Structure 1
Amino acid sequence: MTTLIAILLDGAIYASWLFLVAAGLTIIYGVMRVLNMAHGSFYAIGAYAAAATVGWFFSGEHGNPYLSYLLLVGCALLAGVILGVVIEQGLLRFLMGRDEILMVIVTYALLLILEDATKLIWGVDPYFAYQPYRLLGISDIGDILRFANYDLALIAVAVFIGLAAWFVLNRTNKGRLLRAVIHDREIAIAMGVNVNAMFAATFVIGAVLGALAGALTAPAISVTPGIGVEVIVLAFAVVVVGGLGSIGGAAAGAVLVGLSRSFAVHIAPEIELFVIYGV
């Protein structure tokens, strides 16, 4: 029973992280039909911005340490909005309607450019922002299991974002217009929907979600060059399993991959990596 609880909790924590990473990717594809290879760079830049800012915050007396959580979210919002607006308005809007393979090549080029940009800005040394991770403490489950409360909080954040996305798409006028664009772009244009504005807003939201995933992950990892490339591969695995363009599918894919990996880690760790791609 102890092993089963550990598998379920580990799987839920990993699934919540996967969903946070994949949500922005699947939203952008669902609306714009752009398979955004640069999404991993949004994650990496969000992580670097958050780690650098939190490191500065704790390097001196800057007030209540719990304000560091606001800094994590603020860094993600700022990085995501800037990246989203610049890339969508400065590049992608001129390529909309082109072959999807061309968009993959263009966003892959962006991935390479942004990977080097992060090295130019933050260097190649690792960044650590462990203070917010430790701040929430540890919970004991039974007499054996111990989990960081920060990891458990990520589950709540992923659930909140998933429910918020569902509510916006299904219970608001803007969400219904967005679904109209998804299902039939030409008719939506004919009915007077500003599709270009929808595309811009969608790309910014996707970029913010990618940066938010990186910022919230930064306290739990060592932020180093290359994390964006590693993440985009896992994000593709999740959205392919769940169905490109579906928030519900991304959630289902994240849970399936997360639990499968957790079972492998606890029972047969030598096949951990295979299990993710096997699914």
Structure 2
Amino acid sequence: MDHEGQLRRAALALGIPDDEVSRFSQHLRLSIRLSGGPSGVPVGQFGGLPRLPVGMDWPSDGVDPLPFIFSVDCAALPRVDGFGLPADGSLLFFLNQEQAAATGERRYGRVVYVPAGTDTEVAAASADHAVVDEQYDVSATLRAEFPEWFGVGEDDEDEDEDEDEDDLSPFQQQVARDLERDLPHLDELCALANGLWPPDDGYTSAYLGGYADPEVIKGFAEQTLAWREKTGEIVIPVAKWYSRVEEETHRLTTEWVSLARFPVDNELYYRSDGRFVIRHDDLAAGRLDEALSMAELIP
């Protein structure tokens, strides 16, 4: 479906200039919301046992099997421009959220792509596996997402606007000025997008696509700049470090995409937010082994 065309037609009907719609569309991302329930066409499976290629071992961290979270049938998912999921085949997500959160190591998460036409079988759980979660089907809908610097969803009081602007860094103030100049109808365009692809209206099992968590991207930015300094490529004065991190975070936001994010519940003592992020270029090239896994434990 031509999602950008949908938005353009709605915006032009309101008198919003075409070139402004194009600029807005460069920042708009649609994520695929996966949720259970009796309605909708199944596009994937949460919990239960995965279907793996015949003869393939259950993915592990090198020692223990990784918990299976969910799988999706790529051909059944809605197509989203700019989000380079495979056109067919299956994606399976495995993550040990506790170890991923504690260590930050990639080996505790894995994405497995099974090409269409591959002979598969239901994998057998062994005594080494954690408890297998109850299986249920999920269907897909679309949700509009915007970059953090749009400020969508913030509910600042009018009387605090001047104070809030003073609290912004010089880089953030420049971004705000650019938005005001380039997208004078930002609020109307965000409202249109949310009308076409609404925010959450119930429990969601996972999201595919959309923006990666800003704190994750900020961490990448700090690592990138620190490495460039260590290799002698650049020198950043201490007083300029924070602003350079902001600039690098802003740049990297366009390079990375959220492959999947999902809550994982543990009935004993915590909830975990699991995430897989990947560069747009790696996803488009099918390099799914380049996806980075991470998790955050929430007591």
Scaled to the shorter chain, the TM-score interval is under 0.3
TM-score by length of 2: 0.24
Identify the structure with the greater helix proportion. Answer: 1
- Structure number with the bigger relative contact order (C-alpha 8 A, sep ≥ 6) is 1
Larger radius of gyration: 2
TM-score by length of 1: 0.25
Identify the structure with the greater strand proportion. Answer: 2
